[in-house]
Homo-oligomer: A and B are copies of this chain.
Amino acid sequence: MKDLQNKILVEGTVIGSEILKVDCFLNHQLDIDFLGKVAQEFYERFKDKPIDRILTVEVSGIAIAALVAQHFHVPVVFAKKLQSKTLNEDMFISKVYSFTKRVDYDIRVSKKFLHAGDHILLIDDFLAKGQAVLGLIDICEQAEAVIEGIGIVIEKDFQQGGSLIRAKGYNLVSLARIMNMNEQEIIFWEEEDV
């Protein structure tokens, strides 16, 4: 999505070779009019699928998932991140490793809100090493829900999460896919390369 690439180039900041700060429109301040266009683009990419529910993970996935859900007229469910280890048989739970924070945490979804046979669209803001998305996939598998697609705003391709998920056969759409970056430049995969 060319507009998104331009937005990242103009407003994003690369720190080192792995961190892309886009807190001005995606992570802390939310540019809602722009994210509305991003949501519209996700709708175009997935509108032929029979989506029942959109699944994301707190925090930064919520706003974009809400905007996408408006097009499909379906609910959003956001997985909750918890470091606590208490068992709860009413929840689907998956363990996720955060490479940034170097801790394991649980993501949890109530069994009330995800059912066998549900057709799910997964939405998240970032895909790096893929741990959060793999956790959401695990939760869908536990629920025997059907993943119809995975929509990511920004994929850092060089961190390999996308390869892992594509290798499993999922329909993964990243609206901006960064091949490489450093403090001088950001190189995107173009659609025709993908």
By a beta-carbon cutoff of 8 Å, the part of chain A in contact with chain B is: 23-25, 28-33, 35-36, 58-59, 62-63, 65-67, 69-70, 73-78, 80, 109-110, 112-113
Chain B residue, CB-CB nearest to A77: B29
Given contacts A32-B66, A59-B59, 19 further A-B contacts (CB under 8 A): A23-B110, A23-B112, A25-B75, A28-B80, A28-B109, A28-B110, A29-B75, A29-B77, A29-B112, A30-B78, A32-B69, A32-B70, A32-B74, A32-B75, A33-B70, A63-B63, A63-B65, A66-B66, A67-B70
**How far is it, in angstroms, between the C-alpha of A59 and the C-alpha of B76 when the chains are bound?**
14
**How far is it, in angstroms, between the C-alpha of A30 and the C-alpha of B76 when the chains are bound?**
5
Tell whether, in the assembled complex, residue A77 and residue B113 are in contact, meaning their CB atoms are under 8 Å apart. no
Chain B residue, CB-CB nearest to A80: B28
Residues of chain B contacted by A29 (CB below 8 angstroms): 75-77, 110, 112-113
Tell whether, in the assembled complex, residue A31 and residue B66 are in contact, meaning their CB atoms are under 8 Å apart. no
Give the residue of B28, B66, B73 whose beta carbon is less than 8 angstroms from that of A63: B66
Residues of chain B contacted by A113 (CB below 8 angstroms): 24, 28-29
Residues of chain B contacted by A67 (CB below 8 angstroms): 66, 70
Residues of chain B contacted by A28 (CB below 8 angstroms): 77-78, 80, 109-110, 113
Q: How far is the CB of A115 from chain B (nearest CB, A)?
A: 12
**How far is it, in angstroms, between the C-alpha of A75 and the C-alpha of B59 when the chains are bound?**
17
Residue pairs across A and B with Cβ atoms less than 8 A apart, 13 shown, are A23-B112, A24-B112, A28-B80, A28-B110, A29-B110, A30-B66, A30-B78, A31-B75, A32-B69, A32-B75, A59-B62, A62-B66, A63-B65
**How far is it, in angstroms, between the C-alpha of A73 and the C-alpha of B31 when the chains are bound?**
9
